[in-house]
């Protein structure tokens, strides 16, 4: 119920997913509104049910207020269905911060996972998608958090995106091990010693090149990077459209450039990849853009289904467990007298 066009696009996307992927759907929210939306579609025989939730967390809502006051929000009710084993995962286009906070409270993290990570699936010049994590679940990370992000991202890339032996890079400001801030310099040798296919530091300009499949960074840097990428694309589109229409003669030009733009947009379209999975939590949680289309919702449901089917969380727990034999950096040691 929390998306910008809820529950219209959510219901449409869910109906399409139920048809295409043979996945059971529970729509959680204001039952009358959802029932009304469902009437617009042919849902005969589809495994779709409704669970009532009386409240909605808005986009502007403060996370702590949402946590404290809205006990019957649609996201919270949905997360409880996952906790209680009635659903494998939850997909939402609601307030990202609130979704993450409710998830942590209701579902909690997987065994040995210190912090969940929000994953952005991003387009690259080479055509195949890369992932960037964390893009906003955690700021001020410690080296071991980034190490766990690498493990979780590697497993997601392998099991969901089907990339064999994904290359893992650390987002920094120079290729050499000695380049970076305190955090990246500490995590670099840990990544080298870890079982992932670590290819070293990568710079901002390499993020969209497609040479690296899993790009690890702290949530502050990842969030700035992701939104900056969106911003540049927006600027680029605005400026170039102006220039194209100046140079291409009127209507033919507009038509031709629209085709090219549409085809281009499909490639860099975030809705193609669904939403942002929150890795490291119990159950499957996919958080979509507030302005998601039905197609994005449908794709997010597909990704959620795949995460569940391939037992991604069990793999993550195993992967993180294997890390415990690696040395923690000195800065994280706890002194016990």
Task: For residue 319, give both structure tokens.
Answer: 């992967």
- Contact assessment for residue 297 and residue 9, using Cβ atoms and an 8 Å cutoff: yes
Closer to its own copies by Cβ: residue 203 or 318: 203
CB nearer to its own copies: give 173 or 322.
173
What SS3 state is found at 168?
A: strand
For the bound state, the minimum distance from the C-beta of residue 172 to its own copies, rounded and expressed in Å, comes to 8
The helix (run of H) or strand (run of E) holding residue 150 is helix 143-159
Identity of the residue, 40 or 267, whose beta carbon is nearer to its own copies in the bound complex: 267
CA–chain centroid gap for 185, Å, is: 26
Instruction: Give the DSSP per-residue string, 190-259.
Output: HHHHSSSEEEEEE-GGGTTTSS-SEEE--HHHHHHHHHHHHHHHHHHHHHHHHHHHHHS-HHHHHHHHHH
Question: In the complex with its own copies, which residue's Cβ is closer, 163 or 217?
Answer: 217
Closest CA to 54 of 39, 69, 36, 41: 69
Q: Is beta strand 117-122 parallel, antiparallel or unpaired with respect to 130-133?
A: antiparallel
- Residues composing the chain: 337
Q: Is 264 helix (H, G, I), strand (E, B) or coil?
A: helix
CB closer to its own copies, 109 vs 233: 233
HSE-CB of 211 using CA atoms within 13 angstroms: 14
Indicate the residue among 112 and 185 with the shorter CB distance to its own copies: 185
Q: How far is the CB of 256 from its own copies (least distance, A)?
A: 5
Tokens of 158: 């392998």
The residue ranges that bind its own copies (CB under 8 A) are 97, 123-125, 136, 139-140, 171-174, 180-182, 184, 203-209, 217-221, 223-236, 238-240, 243-244, 246-248, 253, 256-257, 259-261, 263-264, 267-268
Nearer to its own copies, 152 or 215 (CB): 215
Placement of tokens 């899993």 in the chain: 214
Instruction: Quote the least distance from Cβ 201 to its own copies, whole Å.
Output: 11
Report whether 1 contacts 30 (CB < 8 A): yes
Smallest gap from residue 25 Cβ to its own copies (A): 32
Nearer to its own copies, 109 or 257 (CB): 257
Closest distance between its own copies and the C-beta of residue 36, in Å? 34
Tell me how far, at minimum, the Cβ of 218 lies from its own copies, in Å.
8
Burial class (CB in 10 A: 0-12, 13-18, 19+), 74: buried
* Min CB(254)–its own copies separation in Å: 12
Q: Least distance to its own copies from the beta carbon of 241, Å? A: 9
């Amino acid at each position: 119920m929390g998306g910008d066009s809820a529950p219209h696009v959510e219901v449409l996307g869910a109906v399409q997913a139920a048809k295409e992927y043979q996945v059971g759907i529970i729509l959680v929210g204001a039952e009358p509104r959802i029932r009304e939306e469902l009437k617009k579609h042919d849902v005969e025989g589809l495994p779709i049910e409704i669970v009532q939730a009386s409240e909605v967390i808005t986009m502007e809502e403060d996370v702590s207020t949402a946590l404290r006051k809205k006990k019957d929000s649609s996201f919270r009710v949905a997360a409880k269905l996952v906790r209680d084993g009635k659903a494998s995962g939850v997909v939402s286009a609601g307030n990202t911060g609130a979704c993450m906070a409710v998830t942590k409270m209701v579902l909690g993290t997987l065994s040995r996972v210190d912090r969940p990570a929000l994953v952005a699936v991003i387009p690259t010049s080479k055509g195949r998608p890369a992932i960037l994590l964390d893009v906003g679940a955690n700021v001020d990370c410690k080296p071991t958090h980034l190490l766990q992000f690498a493990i979780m991202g590697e497993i997601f890339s392998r099991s969901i995106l089907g990339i064999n032996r994904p290359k893992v890079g650390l987002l920094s400001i120079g290729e050499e091990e000695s380049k970076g801030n305190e955090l990246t310099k500490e995590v670099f040798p840990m990544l080298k010693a870890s079982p992932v296919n670590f290819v070293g530091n990568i710079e901002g300009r390499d993020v969209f090149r497609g040479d690296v499949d899993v790009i690890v960074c702290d949530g502050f840097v990842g969030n700035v990077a992701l939104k900056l990428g969106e911003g540049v694309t927006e600027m680029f589109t605005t400026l170039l459209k102006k220039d194209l229409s100046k140079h291409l003669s009127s209507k033919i030009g507009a038509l031709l450039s629209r085709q090219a733009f549409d085809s281009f947009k499909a490639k860099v379209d975030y809705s193609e990849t669904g939403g942002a999975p929150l890795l490291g939590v119990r159950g499957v949680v996919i958080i979509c853009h507030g302005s998601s289309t039905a197609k994005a919702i449908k794709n997010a449901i597909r990704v959620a289904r795949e995460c569940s089917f391939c037992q991604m969380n069990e793999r993550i727990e195993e992967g993180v467990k294997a890390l415990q034999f690696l040395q923690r950096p000195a800065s994280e040691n706890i002194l016990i007298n």
